[in-house]
């Protein structure tokens, strides 16, 4: 069974959706560890409530310190024989050495239709400020190009009159909670093949 590490910095609702899929047997993978850079992250309590190991791995601002922290994180994941790293609301950029080591084995969920509103923690606010009529979410492979890796799947939602960041985020989040577990299931089943910029979804 594919072992999954989830990196999460905040409330962990995507983590919950993964754990719920796992519980009903539709993930084809097992979340073995949850890593957060914030000791108070709700995602860590979610992990504990579900009996999943949780680790705190602070992400210092200085580049050298960040690299050292991510090397330690990588070692911890390797020790646990992790086969897939899922960034689910991880609010720090992964350094090049980490991404290269885990190439092809890291995915991320982002609350916009990439490549629009990439590399920001405020994608929904920026979408509203831009006046878009459709937004959504994207699950993609992580490469060194932040939010620029090959796209696995996307879901669109309408932007409605009167929307604010909270209402739009909630509408997008509902789709994230279906898209992310489905992407993990496809990955675990060997159904994803990356060809250049394109992820081909097939039969393994």
Number of CB atoms found within 10 A of residue 122's CB: 12
Q: Is 126 helix (H, G, I), strand (E, B) or coil?
A: helix
* Annotated catalytic residue within 50, 110, 122, 130: 110
Cβ nearer to ligand GRF, comparing 77 with 88: 88
Q: Which stretch binds ligand GRF (CB under 6 A): 8-16, 51-59, 78-86, 97-105?
A: 8-16
Among 66, 92, 105, 110, binds ligand GRF (CB under 6 A): 110
Among 10, 58, 148, 150, binds ligand GRF (CB under 6 A): 10
Is 110 part of the annotated catalytic residue set?
yes
CA angle, 203 as apex, 191 and 176 as ends, to 5°?
Answer: 40
The answer to whether residue 104 forms part of the interface with ligand GRF (CB under 6 A) is no
φ and ψ of 74, to 5 deg: -60, -45
CA dist list (Å): 178 to 15, 24, 59, 134, 164: 11, 14, 29, 18, 22
Tell me which residues touch ligand GRF (CB under 6 A). Answer: 8, 10-14, 88-89, 109-111, 137, 173, 176
Residues acting as catalytic residues: 110
């Amino acid at each position: 069974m594919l072992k999954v590490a989830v990196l999460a910095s905040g409330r962990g609702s995507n983590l919950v959706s993964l754990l719920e899929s796992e519980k009903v047997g539709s993930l084809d993978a097992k979340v073995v560890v949850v890593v957060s850079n914030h000791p108070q992250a709700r995602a860590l309590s979610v992990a504990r409530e579900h009996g999943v190991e949780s680790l705190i791995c602070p992400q210092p601002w200085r580049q050298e310190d960040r690299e050292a922290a991510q090397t330690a994180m990588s070692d911890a994941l390797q020790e646990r024989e992790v086969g897939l790293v899922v960034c689910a609301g991880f609010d720090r950029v992964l350094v090049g050495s980490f991404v290269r080591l885990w190439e092809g084995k890291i995915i991320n969920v982002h609350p916009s239709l990439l490549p629009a509103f990439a590399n920001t923690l405020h994608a929904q606010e920026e979408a509203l400020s831009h006046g878009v009529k459709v937004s959504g979410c994207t699950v993609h492979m992580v490469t060194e190009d932040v939010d620029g890796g090959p796209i696995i799947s996307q879901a669109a939602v309408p932007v409605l009159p009167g929307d604010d960041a909270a209402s739009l985020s909630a509408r997008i989040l509902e789709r994230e909670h279906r898209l992310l577990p489905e992407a993990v299931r496809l990955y675990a089943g060997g159904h994803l093949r990356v060809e250049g910029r394109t992820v081909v979804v097939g039969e393994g």
